[in-house]
Chains A and B, each alone.
Chain A
Amino acid sequence: AQSVAQPEDQVNVAEGNPLTVKCTYSVSGNPYLFWYVQYPNRGLQFLLKYITGDNLVKGSYGFEAEFNKSQTSFHLKKPSALVSDSALYFCAVRDHMIYNQGGKLIFGQGTELSVKP
């Protein structure tokens, strides 16, 4: 069965410091991996995805994520955090072999990022 784990409910970072939001996954085949951000009372905004190729993926707003197959991880990173990055972050996975599921995504439980000035 597919699953995603975000081990930290909350991450606190000082503005200007690097940030990492952790994500590990479990799929039967090769994964498609996604990161989304959600601001209060809003839908999710797409940040980046890993499908194949280079393990380091660059996305929106200066975020990047590194796919590590041996550790089954896809941690989200940013070199210098901004107060405006404070939001709820979701990691999601889809197994590319399961087309008959119509592209269903499995979401992690979310990590609340708080960036203080």
Chain B
Amino acid sequence: GAVVSQHPSWVICKSGTSVKIECRSLDFQATTMFWYRQFPKQSLMLMATSNEGSKATYEQGVEKDKFLINHASLTLSTLTVTSAHPEDSSFYICSASFFPPGSNEQFFGPGTRLTVL
């Protein structure tokens, strides 16, 4: 149980285009989802916390207009990278948590490799 999927697993796009990444909890309802960015051999950097039906909470330094997050249902959150540039190339990982998230672990998706040409 507690499986999280991401789609696509990898994407290559041209500079200036927008890319949408989906994160789904397959067998549980996730009131809270998290979006991370990871550079090679580095730790995960939390970008934003997404709660179903409300606006995402972005971490300091993360541009909310560039990284649009929508958590429309208890099983789906999307991250849209708008007007992507080569510096946005990275590994994007989502995670989901049961409610309440306090003592519960986060379940991670397999990640999406974004390459912007």
* A108-B51 in contact (CB<8A): no
> B57–A102 contact, CB under 8 A?
yes
Q: Give the nearest-CB partner of B6 in chain A.
A: A43
Contact B43 A109 (CB under 8 A): yes
Contact digits for A99-117, partner B, Cβ 8 Å, 1 yes 0 no: 1011111011110100000
Q: How far is the CB of A80 from chain B (nearest CB, A)?
A: 25
Given the known inter-chain contacts A96-B103, A99-B102, please indicate yes or no for A110 contacting B108, CB distance below 8 A. no
Are the C-beta atoms of B111 and A43 separated by less than 8 Å?
Answer: yes
Number of interface residues, chain B, beta carbon within 8 A: 29
Q: Are A109 and B42 in contact (CB under 8 A)?
A: yes
Q: Are B109 and A43 in contact (CB under 8 A)?
A: yes
Minimum CB–CB distance for B62 against chain A, Å = 13
Q: A32-B102, A41-B113 are in contact. Are A104 and B46 (CB under 8 A)?
A: yes
Task: Tell whether B34 is near chain A: CB-to-CB under 8 Å.
Answer: yes
Q: Does A32 contact B44, Cβ atoms closer than 8 Å?
A: no
Instruction: Give the one of B44, B93, B101, B109 with max A CB within 10 A.
Output: B44
Residues on B lying within 8 angstroms of A by beta carbon are: 4, 6, 32, 34, 41-44, 46, 49, 51, 57, 91, 93, 95, 97, 100-111, 113
Chain B residue numbers with a CB within 8 Å of A102 are: 32, 49, 51, 57, 101
Size range of the chain A interface in the assembly: 20 to 34
B49 CB contacts on chain A under 8 angstroms: 101-104
A43→B110 contact, CB < 8 A? yes
Q: Are B100's CB and A110's CB within 8 A?
A: no
**Closest chain A residue to B110, Cβ basis:** A43
Q: Which residues of A contact B101 (CB under 8 A)?
A: 102-103
Cβ–Cβ < 8 Å partners of A107 in chain B:
43-44
8 tightest A-B contacts by CB?
Answer: A103-B101, A43-B108, A44-B108, A43-B110, A109-B43, A51-B103, A102-B49, A43-B111
**Cβ B111 vs Cβ A42 within 8 A:** yes
Q: Jot down 17 A-B pairs with beta carbons below 8 A, ordered by A.
A: A32-B103, A36-B108, A41-B91, A43-B95, A44-B93, A44-B108, A88-B41, A90-B43, A99-B100, A102-B49, A102-B57, A105-B46, A107-B43, A109-B42, A110-B41, A110-B42, A112-B41
